Amino acid sequence: MSSGRLVYVMGPSGAGKDSVLNEARRQLGGSPTAFAHRYITRPADAGGENHVTLSEEEFACRRDRSLFLFHWHSHGFFYGAGIELLDWMYRGFTVVLNGSREYWPQARERIPNIEGVLITARSEVLRQRLQDRGRESDAAIKERIRRNTALESDMPGVRVIDNSGDLSHATSELVDFLRKPAP
């Protein structure tokens, strides 16, 4: 299909996935690595990742015309990754996509040679980070931890990177993984 790679990075809220991705992007600047933006029906000023904001109508129009390689719904928003990722791979890039753990089985079905990376942290670290954010109740945090355990229990073949400690260790693992040549 292509000469590049597609690396699908996922992880629970509080694992520090965005921090690891941002630092890896900084370290890999100038290399043939493309960190894909996502199309999201979330306002641009909502915080978090740099993304392309679409209305639900715009999203549906693009989805219905097959402009997304992947698309899913999570936490009240629609997310999409554009078909341009295939062109980037064809041109020899390692393409890095911030994906959803729940959508991982569909992504593997669609692109069989996709590579999965799970950035995670120990349950007590996740709990503390989520409490420090102050966005959710203790019951909601407990449910997130339970959901995380269930989702991560069935991910064979996925590279797991523990970000419970210093950010530099997890970033180094991801950067090393991204630098390896296409299979």
pLDDT tens for residues 102-149? Answer: 999 999 999 999 999 999 999 899 889 888 888 788 888 888 888 777
Task: Give bridge partners of residue 53 from the DSSP assignment.
Answer: 40
pTM of the model: 0.90
Q: Name the residue with tokens 């000469």.
A: 3
Count CB neighbours of 4 within 10 A: 21
Max Cα–Cα distance, the chain, nearest Å: 47
Percent of the chain with pLDDT over 70: 95
By residue range, what is the domain housing residue 97?
5-178
* Contact assessment for residue 176 and residue 31, using Cβ atoms and an 8 Å cutoff: no
pLDDT tens for residues 40-57? Answer: 998 877 666 778 999 999
Alpha helices in the chain (DSSP H): 17-27, 56-64, 84-90, 104-110, 123-133, 138-152, 167-179
Is there a domain that residue 183 lies in?
A: no
* Contact assessment for residue 89 and residue 95, using Cβ atoms and an 8 Å cutoff: yes
Is there a domain that residue 159 lies in?
A: yes
pLDDT (0 to 100) of residue 141:
86
Total domains in the chain come to: 1
Token pair of 112 as six digits? 């069989």
Binding site listing for ATP: 11-18
Number of helices (H), then strands (E), belonging to the chain: the values are: 7, 9
35 pLDDT above the threshold of 70: yes
> Residue 146 belongs to a domain with what CATH number?
3.40.50.300
Q: Starting from the edge strand earliest in sequence, which strands make up the sheet with 159-162, in order?
A: 33-35, 94-98, 5-10, 115-120, 159-162
Is there a domain that residue 39 lies in?
A: yes
Binding site listing: 11-18
User: What's the CA gap between 120 and 160, in Å, rounded?
Assistant: 7
1 pLDDT above the threshold of 50: no
Is there a domain that residue 35 lies in?
A: yes
